Amino acid sequence: MIRNLAQGVQSFTSNVFLVDGARTVLVDVGNEFDVTEKVRTHADGLDAVVLTHTHYDHVGNLDSVVEEFGVEVWGHDTDQDGVDNAIADSETVQLGDSQYTALHTPGHKNDHLCFYSAAESVLFAGDLVFANGSFGRTDLEEGDRDLLVESIDRVLDTVDEGLEAMHTGHGPSVTDAPYRDIEFALQAARF
- 105-157: pLDDT as tens digits: 999 999 999 999 999 999 999 999 999 999 999 999 999 999 999 999 999 99
* pLDDT class of 165 with cuts at 50, 70, 90: very high
User: Which of 64, 4, 63 lies closest to 36, judged by CA?
Assistant: 64
With a CB cutoff of 8 Å and minimum separation 6, the contacts of 191 are none
Distance CA 100, CA 79 (A): 23
CATH code for position 15: 3.60.15.10
The four Cα atoms 42, 66, 130, 104 give a dihedral, to 10 degrees, of: -130
Per-residue model confidence (pLDDT) at position 67: 97
Domain that holds residue 142: 2-189
Q: What is the mean pLDDT of the chain?
A: 97
41 Cα distance to chain centroid: 21
Per-residue model confidence (pLDDT) at position 187: 97
The proportion of the chain whose per-residue pLDDT surpasses 90, expressed as a percent, equals 98
How many domains does one find in the chain?
A: 1
* pLDDT class of 21 with cuts at 50, 70, 90: very high
- 53-81: pLDDT as tens digits: 999 999 999 999 999 999 999 999 999 99
Distance CA 16, CA 82 (A): 17
